[in-house]
């Protein structure tokens, strides 16, 4: 009987290595809620593709460490994978054949209804190009055809490895819009890997960051943005830093970075203006006010760098 669970993907202390001495994954516990778009982020070689191969049963995972749809993968492999579509790295396509023929070959293997081809072509917006040879497709079109192949089984869960890797800006936008549509219109839960947060920031609802085989952050995109707020700082030099500290200390956290430099975290531009007004009203001359804003991409990089220092 299928276990009731809020998570479509659940791993519990998942570890894996081809040899006992070289562990590629170390106690990775992932939780992907139904209806989420989960971005699995990490630098190249962090363990993203290995994790995906384990989730799809392409590599042997220790018993009891992976659940899909609330059921152990090791005991229900065919049942749970029948509800899962996937694309690992670049889609495997027959470029000398048409998009339609590529889909037809996979449809026959999966023994699905012929009408599904028209449906998935409409979903990925390739109907007009269906009978063109794939070698004439752009990278974005090939990627969308790969997603169409993954949709032939009408999955509830879509697992994609680096779906925007190598795409130009137009292809990235096409893929993003497609995945958002699949998630919102059809309710498909999506798990996708990437090595750059900036590429999928506008797409995901949840984030997991992996580095050197260890999961170092997991949470909503909003939670990551909250952490990012503390990464924005004002560097300040005045003619009287002691007085500046007295003026600002009740409302702001101030750090003396250098003999003549103060550092103040801020959350928005309004706070920058308020700090300047307070100092001017107190007759403190501002010699230098420098704002450093770190976007989510830099926050992601900082997570990786801090983790590397701890290893």
Query: Residue 278 belongs to what H/E stretch?
Result: helix 269-281
pTM recorded for the entire structure = 0.79
The widest CA-to-CA distance across the chain, in whole angstroms, is 79
3-state secondary structure of 33: strand
Strand partners, 219: 207
The whole-number average pLDDT for the span 14-21 is 90
Give me the pLDDT at residue 22, please: 87
List the chain domain ranges. Answer: 1-83+156-220, 86-154, 232-293
The stretches of 8-163 forming alpha helices (DSSP H) are: 48-55, 77-81, 99-110, 115-123, 139-151
Whether the per-residue pLDDT at 311 is higher than 70: the answer is: no
- Cα separation values, 132 from 108, 129, 135, 152, Å: 20, 5, 8, 19
Name the pairing type of β-strands 7-11 and 66-68.
antiparallel
Give me the pLDDT at residue 133, please: 97
Q: Read off the pLDDT of residues 213-244 as tens digits, 9 standing for 90 and up.
A: 999 999 998 888 777 666 688 899 999 999 99
Q: What secondary structure letter does DSSP report for 198?
A: H
CATH number of 1-83+156-220: 3.40.50.300
The whole-number average pLDDT for the span 244-261 is 88
Q: Read off the pLDDT of residues 49-70 as tens digits, 9 standing for 90 and up.
A: 999 999 999 999 998 899 999 9
Determine contact, residues 91/143, Cβ cutoff 8 Å: yes
The whole-number average pLDDT for the span 96-105 is 96
CB-count exposure of residue 96 (10 Å: 0-12, 13-18, 19+): exposed
Mean model confidence pLDDT for the chain: 89
The whole-number average pLDDT for the span 106-126 is 92
Whether the per-residue pLDDT at 127 is higher than 70: the answer is: yes
Q: Read off the pLDDT of residues 271-284 as tens digits, 9 standing for 90 and up.
A: 999 999 999 999 99
Give the class (CATH, top level) of 232-293. Answer: alpha beta
Residues with Cβ within 8 Å of residue 253, at least 6 apart in sequence: 264, 265
Give me the pLDDT at residue 268, please: 80
State the DSSP string of 71-115.
Answer: EETTTSHHHHHTTEEEE-SS----TTSBHHHHHHHHHHHHT--TH
Whether the per-residue pLDDT at 299 is higher than 80: the answer is: no
Give me the pLDDT at residue 91, please: 80
């Amino acid at each position: 009987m299928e276990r009731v669970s809020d998570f479509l993907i659940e791993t519990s202390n998942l570890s894996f290595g081809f040899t006992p001495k070289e562990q590629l994954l170390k106690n990775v516990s992932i939780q992907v809620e139904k209806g989420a778009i989960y971005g699995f982020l990490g630098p190249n070689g962090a363990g993203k593709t290995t994790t995906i191969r384990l989730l799809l049963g392409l590599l042997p995972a220790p018993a009891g460490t992976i659940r899909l749809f609330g059921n152990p993968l090791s005991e229900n492999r065919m049942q749970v994978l029948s509800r899962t579509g996937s694309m690992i790295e670049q889609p495997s396509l027959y470029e000398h054949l048409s998009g339609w023929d590529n889909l037809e070959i996979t449809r026959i293997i999966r023994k699905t209804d012929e009408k599904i081809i028209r449906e998935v072509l409409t979903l990925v917006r390739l109907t007009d190009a269906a009978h063109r040879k794939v070698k004439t497709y752009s990278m974005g079109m090939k990627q969308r055809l790969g997603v169409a192949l993954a949709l032939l089984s009408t999955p509830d869960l879509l697992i994609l490895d680096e779906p925007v890797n190598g795409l130009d800006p137009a292809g990235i936008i096409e893929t993003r819009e497609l995945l958002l549509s699949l998630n919102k219109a059809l309710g498909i839960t999506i798990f996708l890997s990437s090595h750059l947060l900036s590429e999928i920031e506008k797409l995901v609802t949840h984030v997991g960051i992996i580095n050197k085989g260890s999961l170092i952050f997991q949470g909503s995109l909003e939670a990551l943005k909250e952490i990012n707020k503390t990464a924005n700082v004002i560097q300040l030099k005045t003619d009287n830093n002691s007085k500046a500290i007295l003026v600002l200390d009740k409302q702001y956290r101030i750090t003396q970075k250098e003999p003549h430099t103060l550092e103040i975290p801020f959350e928005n531009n309004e706070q920058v203006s308020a700090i300047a007004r307070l100092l001017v009203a107190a007759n403190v001359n501002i010699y230098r006010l420098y704002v450093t804003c770190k976007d989510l991409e830099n926050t992601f990089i900082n997570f990786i760098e801090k983790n590397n220092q701890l290893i």
